[in-house]
A and B are shown apart, each in its own frame.
Chain A
C-alpha cells in the first residue's frame, strides 16, 4: 500500500515551528517594504485613513475591470513548494498576516495537514498595487489557485486551469523537472495558458538553477531569460513574481456587456451557508438577488450571497467579468451543482461553456461498515463526504461476507486512502475496504458484454464462454537518473508495459514513456520504482484506452466456500503467482481457529494454490487461584472484543485488515 503513504510528509510540525520562529519577530502591521498593498483602494478607504478601527467596508469590485484582473494557478510536481509560495504571495499582498495561521494556509483539511500534501485546489483573491518605474501605481485583483501535485488529483488541476489565463509552473531547483512537472505543463499548455516558469527553493545548498533552466528550455522550449528564481522559504526573489504575473498573463477575455455566463468549477458544503459554488465569471456581471439557472440541471435559484475568497468567504454583493468568487443559492445538496456546468441569468439564452470531460475512476473498492449494524451511519457519512468530494462515485452493493456496503470509484489509491481517512476523521466511521480493482470489460460467446467494477460480480462459472476481455491502460511518464534505466525497463516489462519513448533530458536524466495496464501500476508500482531507483525516479500517468487482454477471475475459498470480498481479476499469465501469494498472505493474516482452515485459490473450478492453517491447539488459562477470577475474566472479555474485529465467513473468522492488506499482491 506504499503508494498511499508515499505522499505523506512527516516534517510538517518541524516546518511549522521553523516558520513561526521566523515570522514572530515581524510586527504584524509593518508592511514589507517590497510591496505596497493597495488595500485602501479596494476597500474604498480614503488614502489618508491609516488606521481604521471600523469594520472594513464592503469590497468594491467595480474598481477592477477585466484589464485589472489576473487569474492564475500554481502548478508543480508534488512537494516543489506550491502551497508555500501561495503563503508568501498572500502575505505579500496582506491577504493573510505574516506569522499568523499555519504554513500552507490553504491546506485546510486535516488529511492535508497530517500528510503535508494538497488534496483539494483552493482559490484566494488578492489585491495588489503594481508599481512600475515612472508610472502611477495601479491596483490589481489577482486570483490565485493552489493545486495538488499528486497524480491522483490532476483532475483538480485541469479544473483549476479552466478558470485561469496563466499558470506559475514551479520547479524545485535541486530536483529539477519531474514527472508531474511534465504532466502539469502539458495540461496548462493544452489549455492555452501563459506559463510563468518559477524555479523555487534556490536557497537549498544543492540548488542548481542553471541546470533546471536548461531542462525547461529543452523540454518545454521555455525562454531561460523569463525564468524567475525564488525561494518561497526565505522570500528571496519573491518581489518579481506578481509583476511578472501582471505583465505576462493576459487579463480574462470575457465581454462585460454580454449576458452573464459563469463556469461552475467547484462546490462544497458549508454548515452555515449550505452549498457554496465556486464560479468564474466569463461574461457579464452578477449581483446579489439575481436569478440564475444551471444549464445541466435546468434548475433556477436566487443568488442569496456572492463574494470572493479573501482568503475566507467575503461578501462583495457582486462579481464582474473575469472575476473568480463564490455564490450561495439555497441549493440543498452539492449534487445539484455539477462541476463544469454553465450558470446564466434566468430567461436569457447563452451558448454553454465547454465544461470538463467527466472524471474517470481508476480504481474501485468496496466500502463496508466495520460493524455490520452501522450501515446507516456509513450511508450518512458517505453522503456528506461526497458533497465535498464529488470525484468519488458511489453505488450500493451487497457482499455475502461483509453485508451491505458501497462500491466506490476513486481517482487513484491515494484518493481512496484520503477518502477512508476523511470518513474516519470527519465522520467517525470505521470501515472495511476490499481489495481495489480497476474496471474491466468481458465479452461472452452470445455477444453480451459485462462491465466489471467488482470482481465478485463476474460469474466464476459463466453460462457462456468468455470470448474476450479488456482492461484499462495508462500512459506513464517516468523521469529518472540514467544509471537506473536498466532496472526500470525490467520493471516495466514485468508489468506488461510497452515502451513508447526513451529520451535524455540532459546528460544525467532520462525520460521514459510507457503504456501499461492500469492494474499493474495501481498498487505497488511506485513503491517498487522508488526502491529500485533509490527514490530518484518520479512517475506520473494519464489514462489511455482499453486494451484486449487475457483476464481471469481468481476466487479465494475458505474451507471450500468462496469469499466474494476476496475475489480478484488477474491476467492469466500471472494467475498462479498471484494465487500463491494471496494464499500465503491470507495464511499470515488469519489466526489459528478451532478448526483447520483450508485456503484455496481457484480459477473457475480449478484449484491453483492451497494451504492450510492448522487448528488452534490450546487456549486455556489453567490458573484461577484463590477464587480470584477477575483477571481471567478480563482476558476473556478482551478475547470476546477481539472477535468483533473479525468478520465471520462460514466458520472462519477473518480480521478486518485482511480484506485490504492483501491487496499488496502484484
Chain B
C-alpha cells in the first residue's frame, strides 16, 4: 500500500507522533537477518533518505492553449481565441486573470509551507512543468522564483528547468526567463510530421517546432531537452526514424522519448485500443523503442533511464532525484510531493486546490510525513525507481537497508532472466557477471553474493521493454 492521499491530511501540525512504530514493525518482517547496527546507522541508509529536507521542487503551471488528445494531466485550457495568430509578445496572457489568480494561489501555497526540518538547505533543482509553463508571463514566473528563494533559498547554480511548447514563446520571452534563472528548457516537440501533430491535437505544426529550436539555440540555452512520443496513431517506422533523425540533427543535450500511453477519459482513450490499428501493434511499438535506443545511442546519447537520453553531463538533475527516491517538494494543481516519507498528491481541480491552500494556511492541512514509513513501500519504491535507470539497483546498499536475505531472493527470482539476458548483473567495477557465474553465486550464501554481485539492471533495450514484468517479480519478493 502506498501512503498516498489525494486529499489533504487533516491533522495538527506539531503533534506528529515521534515513535517510529511502523519502522520497527516493517523491520521485523523484512529484516530478520540484518544486524541491529544497520538499522540505526541512519545517516546513509536508504531507509532514512526520505527523512532529510528536500532540495528539489516541482512547480506545476497548468495552462495550455488547448488539451492534446492524449493528455490526462491536470491542466487548464485557456482556449485559442485570444491567442490567434498574433505574435507571441503581443498576446493577452500578460493580463489573463486566470493565470494571475493561479500564480497568486501558488505563491500562497509556497508561503504556507511549513516544514519540520532542523535545517532548510537551499534548493538545488526547480522544475516548472505543466501544462505549458511557457504560457505564463515571465513577470509571474519571477514572482514564483522569488517566493521559492525567500522561502527555501535557491543555490546560485541551481538547475531550473521549464517545459516550453513550440509556438508559445519568442526570443525575447526566453531571454527574460533566462534572466530570471531558467537554465534548462524542455521543448515539447512530440513529432516532426504535421499530420501526426494534427492528429494529436497539438496547437502547433512542424514549422513552429523549427522556429522554437532556432530560438532556443539563438538564445544560447546549452542545456535543453526535446520530448518525443512514439507509437502515435498512424505513425510508421519511417516517420519515427525521421523524427529521431531530425531530433538528433537539432542537437539537444537531452532527449525524452515517451511511449504513448492511451489514458482513460482522453480523446485517444475513447477511440483507440493499444496494439490495434491505427495504433501500432505491440511488436511495432517495441520496434520503435529499440530504434530510438539504438539511434540515439549511436548519436552519442546515454540511455540513462527508461525514457531519458542525455549527452555527457546533461542528465536532468531534477529527475534524478525521483529515480533515487529522494524527497522533493511540489507546488500547484495536482502536483505530487514526497516529503518526510509521505507521497502526497494535491487536488487536481482548481476549486479543491484553492480550498487546500486555505487549509494549509490555517494549519488544517499537512502534506509533510512524520518520517514513519512502511519499509516494504520504501523497498518497492526503490526497486521500481532504480530499475528505471541504467545504473540499476545497488545491491549492497539495498541489502544493508532491507536485509541480505531479500537480496538473495531477488537474485533467485531473476536467475532465469539473467540467463535470458533481460537482466544484467554487474560487479563493483560495473563489469558484467556472466549468467553461469551468477547462477553459481546465487546458490551460495548471502555474503558471497554481496561480495561479487553489486548491481542488477535491466538490459537496454530488451529488459527496459519488459520493465513492468520484471519489476513486478521483485515486488513479489518484497510482499508475496
Contacts and interface: CB of A to CB of B under 8 A. Distances in A.
B466 interface: yes
Contacts of B307: 622-624
A620 B73 CA distance: 19
Contact of B384 (A616, A619, A626, A629): A629
Contacts of B322: 624, 627, 629
Nearest to B479: A640
A620 B306 contact: yes
A635 B479 CA distance: 15
A629 B58 CA distance: 14
Interface in B45-95: 58, 60, 73
Interface string A633-646: 11111011001000
Contacts of B385: 629
A560 to B, nearest CB: 15
A636 B384 contact: yes
Contacts of A628: 335-336, 345
Nearest to A630: B4
A632 interface: yes
B399 to A, nearest CB: 21
Given A594-B466, A620-B259, A622-B261, A640 B343 contact: no
A622 B286 CA distance: 12
Given A626-B330, A630-B345, A637-B475, A619 B261 contact: no
A617 B380 contact: no
Interface residues of A, number: 27
A445 B442 CA distance: 48
Contacts of B328: 627
Nearest to B288: A618
Contacts of A639: 468-469, 472, 475
B420 A595 contact: yes
Interface residues of B, number: 50
Interface in B291-330: 306-307, 321-322, 328, 330
Contacts, number: 111
A636 B379 CA distance: 14
A626 B336 contact: yes
Given A630-B343, A633-B381, A619 B336 contact: no
A621 interface: yes
Contacts of B476: 640, 643
A625 interface: yes
Given A620-B467, A651-B416, A626 B60 contact: yes
B289 A618 contact: yes
Contacts of A634: 2
B282 to A, nearest CB: 5
A629 B282 contact: no
B129 interface: yes
B169 interface: no
Interface in A594-626: 594-595, 616-626
Nearest to A618: B286
Nearest to B60: A626
Contacts of B471: 636
A643 B58 contact: no
Given A594-B422, A595-B420, A620 B465 contact: yes
B286 A617 contact: yes
A626 B258 contact: no
Contacts of A620: 259, 289, 306, 464-468
B247 interface: no
A173 B188 CA distance: 76
Interface string B443-474: 00000000000000000000011111111110
In the complex, which of the residues A621, A627, A629, A643 has the most CB atoms of chain B within 10 Å of its own CB atom?
A: A627
B283 interface: yes
A594 B466 CA distance: 8
A636 B472 contact: yes
A651 B475 CA distance: 18
Contacts of A643: 472-473, 476
Contacts of A621: 261, 467-468
A626 B58 contact: yes
Interface in B331-360: 335-338, 343, 345
Contacts of B425: none
Contacts of B388: 624
Contacts of A651: 416
B465 A626 contact: no
In the complex, which of the residues B129, B345, B464, B466 has the most CB atoms of chain A within 10 Å of its own CB atom?
A: B466
A619 to B, nearest CB: 4
A76 B476 CA distance: 54
B285 interface: yes
B440 to A, nearest CB: 19
B349 to A, nearest CB: 16
A618 B465 contact: yes
A619 B475 contact: no
A511 to B, nearest CB: 52
B30 interface: no
A618 B381 contact: no
A619 B261 CA distance: 12
A490 B335 CA distance: 68
Given A616-B469, A619-B467, A636 B475 contact: yes
A640 B383 CA distance: 14
Contacts of A633: 2, 380-381, 384
A616 B282 CA distance: 9
Interface string B412-451: 0000110010100000000000000000000000000000
Nearest to B464: A620
A535 to B, nearest CB: 36
B127 to A, nearest CB: 8
Contact of A617 (B283, B384, B420): B283
B257 interface: yes
A630 B261 contact: no
A618 B466 contact: yes
Contact of B336 (A623, A627, A635): A627
Contacts of A625: 73, 129
B5 to A, nearest CB: 10
B466 A629 contact: no
Nearest to B319: A627
B35 to A, nearest CB: 29
B2 A622 contact: no
Nearest to B380: A633
Contact of A629 (B73, B257, B343, B420): B343
Contacts of A618: 259, 282, 285-286, 289, 465-466
Nearest to A642: B472
Interface in B255-287: 257-259, 261, 282-283, 285-286
Contact of B335 (A595, A626, A632): A626
Given A619-B466, A633-B380, A640 B335 contact: no
Interface string A149-170: 0000000000000000000000
A617 B258 contact: no
A622 B337 CA distance: 20
Contacts of A594: 417, 420, 422, 466, 469-470
A9 to B, nearest CB: 37
A616 B286 CA distance: 10
A636 B306 CA distance: 16
Interface of A: 594-595, 616-630, 632-637, 639-640, 643, 651
10 contacts: A594-B422, A617-B285, A618-B466, A620-B465, A622-B261, A623-B259, A627-B321, A628-B345, A636-B475, A639-B472
Given A621-B261, A626-B127, 10 more contacts: A594-B417, A617-B286, A620-B259, A622-B257, A622-B259, A626-B60, A633-B381, A633-B384, A635-B468, A640-B473
List 9 A-B pairs, minimum CB-CB distance, nearest first.
A628-B336, A617-B286, A639-B472, A622-B259, A618-B286, A640-B475, A640-B472, A622-B307, A619-B468
Interface of B: 2, 4, 58, 60, 73, 127, 129, 257-259, 261, 282-283, 285-286, 289, 306-307, 321-322, 328, 330, 335-338, 343, 345, 380-381, 384-385, 388, 416-417, 420, 422, 464-473, 475-476, 479
